[in-house]
Structure 1
Amino acid sequence: MSGVLGSLDRDLAAKQAAKYDPQREAEARTWIETVTGEKIGGNFHESLKNGQLLCK
């Protein structure tokens, strides 16, 4: 069973990676930094994950 789940995890990760667009991330990063007045550190996803920056 774990082999099936591992395969599913890999498939989902590949699907997510295929949707990633670095240009869209840069645009979103710039917009958020402009609106909040705060710089977003290194990993964009991790910086937004807890929602605190987005609430500002």
Structure 2
Amino acid sequence: MPLFVDEMTVCVEQIQEFEKKKNNKNLLELISDYSKAAGCKAHIKKLIAFR
């Protein structure tokens, strides 16, 4: 997860496998856990996804 001043980029390889397992909730939990550990606040409402 490369970090910028106020941005975080998450790259999921093998997106088809990820979607088959329906791990979308797990990805949000991962982002939340990382934010807590890093001491920053994640704004899920500002989440943008690209395919």
TM-score by length of 1: 0.36
